């Protein structure tokens, strides 16, 4: 099946980035969200990213406009009826994602590929709610999407080879690097990364060192470009906690127990850079 038109559901940080790279690859894109104002905010972020590219000489003004011309805003999932691929990038919550795919299952044709940008939830469990689980797959983009090269492609138990190949080829057209991963809680990226961030939070919680010292050890001693606590603030502490909870519940293993300090900060609204306060304070 030839992919020409793609719907991205969710216009937040991940969704608008995915919409941008799809449009840059030459695809018509529907950027969908619950409210027009949410979709417009997502589009504004795409405009900001593209304007920066023009200012830095990476794109011409004409190329920027061509990308924007391929993006249409949507507030109705029924618009997915004439697409060949839907990429869901909603909040990391199983029940919300399940409801989205149940709704889509009533709208799209049987040959349409349904994919999720989940960062931790099992693909097979989400695929179970649709009529054609063989056409269901995970596409886990990294943040920020326009910059980061990796896309984890996760097969569910029933994902067929044709679906995998279509998504593999699309990822290459987006100038990304596809890496195939089998279905598991957290896949590879977050199964390795999030326990490290959680352990850094425990190190702070137990007063072993300050946030600055913990990050400096990992940056200068382990050559990480960004320390784990800074990275957690960038990702969002609520997202980190959600993924740790998925790992803890999914594997039933105490090594994935979320740090109490992480839970306390999220409860207090300290979500990281997006809220102005996380492990660090931001203007």
pTM score of the predicted model: 0.92
Task: Give dist(CA 232, CA 78) in Å, integer.
Answer: 36
140 is catalytic: yes
Please report, for the chain, how many H helices and E strands are present, in that order.
11, 8
Domain spans in the chain, listed from the N-terminal domain onward: 5-182, 190-274
Which pair of structure tokens corresponds to residue 21?
């790279």
Which residue among the candidates 49, 115, 120, 140 is catalytic per the annotation?
Answer: 140
152 is catalytic: yes
11 is catalytic: no
Q: Which CATH code, of 3.30.460.20, 3.40.50.720, 2.70.150.10, 3.20.20.70, is assigned to 5-182?
A: 3.40.50.720
Which pair of structure tokens corresponds to residue 206?
């137990």
Which residue among the candidates 119, 120, 198, 242 is catalytic per the annotation?
Answer: 119
Task: Give dist(CA 152, CA 182) in Å, integer.
Answer: 10
For residue 24, give the DSSP letter: H
Question: How does pLDDT run across 182-219, given as a tens digit for each residue?
Answer: 999 999 999 999 999 999 999 999 999 999 999 999 99
Question: How does pLDDT run across 94-123, given as a tens digit for each residue?
Answer: 999 999 999 999 999 999 999 999 999 999
Which residue among the candidates 16, 120, 152, 242 is catalytic per the annotation?
Answer: 152
pLDDT of residue 2: 85
| Closest-CA residue to 258 (of 219, 214, 189, 205) | 205
With H, G, I as helix, E, B as strand and everything else as coil, classify residue 131.
coil
pLDDT at 1 over 90: no
Q: Cα 254 to the chain's mean position, in Å? A: 26
CATH architecture of the domain with range 190-274: Orthogonal Bundle (1.10)
Question: How does pLDDT run across 134-188, given as a tens digit for each residue?
Answer: 999 999 999 999 999 999 999 999 999 999 999 999 999 999 999 999 999 999 9
Which residue among the candidates 117, 190, 198, 242 is catalytic per the annotation?
Answer: 190
275 is catalytic: no
**pLDDT band (50, 70, 90) for residue 128:** very high
């Amino acid at each position: 099946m030839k992919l020409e038109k793609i719907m991205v559901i969710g216009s937040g940080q991940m969704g608008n980035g995915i919409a941008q790279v799809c449009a840059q690859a030459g695809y018509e894109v529907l950027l969908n969200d619950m409210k027009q104002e949410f979709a417009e905010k997502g589009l504004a972020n795409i405009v900001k990213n593209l304007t920066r590219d023009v200012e830095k000489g990476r794109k011409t003004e004409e190329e920027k406009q061509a990308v924007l011309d391929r993006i249409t805003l949507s507030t109705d999932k029924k618009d997915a009826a004439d697409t060949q691929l839907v990429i869901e990038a909603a909040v990391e919550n199983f029940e919300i994602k399940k409801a989205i795919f149940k709704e889509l299952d009533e709208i799209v044709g049987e040959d349409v590929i349904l994919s999720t940008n989940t960062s931790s939830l099992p693909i097979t469990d989400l695929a179970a709610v649709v009529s054609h689980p063989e056409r269901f797959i995970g596409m886990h983009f990294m943040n920020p999407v326009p910059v980061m090269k990796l896309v984890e492609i996760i097969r569910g138990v029933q994902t067929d080879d044709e679906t995998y190949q279509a998504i593999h080829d699309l990822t290459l057209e987006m100038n990304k690097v596809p890496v195939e991963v089998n279905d598991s809680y957290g896949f590879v990226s977050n199964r390795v990364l999030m326990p490290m961030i959680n352990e850094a939070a425990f190190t702070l919680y137990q007063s072993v060192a300050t946030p600055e010292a913990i990050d400096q050890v990992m940056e200068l001693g382990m050559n990480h470009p960004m320390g784990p606590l800074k990275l957690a603030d960038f990702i969002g502490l609520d997202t980190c906690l959600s993924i740790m909870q998925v790992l803890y519940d999914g594997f039933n293993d105490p090594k994935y127990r979320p740090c109490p300090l992480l839970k306390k900060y999220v409860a207090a609204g300290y979500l990281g850079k997006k809220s102005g306060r996380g492990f660090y304070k931001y203007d």
